[in-house]
Amino acid sequence: MRLIHGNDDTVAAFVASRIPFCAARGFGPNRAIGVARGDQVVGGFVFHDYAPEFGVIEMSFASADRRWLTRPVLYHVFSYVFDGIGCQMACSRTPASHLSALRITRAYGFRQVTVPRLFGCREDGVISTLTAEDWKSNGFHRSRSLQATSA
Percent of the chain residues past pLDDT 90, beyond the cut: 75
String of DSSP letters for 6-53: S-HHHHHHHHHHTSTTTTTT--SSEEEEEEEETTEEEEEEEEEEEETT
pTM as predicted: 0.90
pLDDT above 50 for 145: no
CATH code, 2-144: 3.40.630.30
Q: What is the rounded CA–CA span in Å between residue 35 and residue 135?
A: 21
Each residue of 92-142: pLDDT tens digit? 999 999 999 999 999 889 999 999 999 999 999 999 999 999 998 887 765
pLDDT given for residue 151 in this prediction: 52
- Furthest-apart CA pair in the chain: how many Å? 43
Q: Please state the domain extents for the chain.
A: 2-144
Q: Distance between CA atoms of 117 and 125, rounded to whole angstroms? A: 7
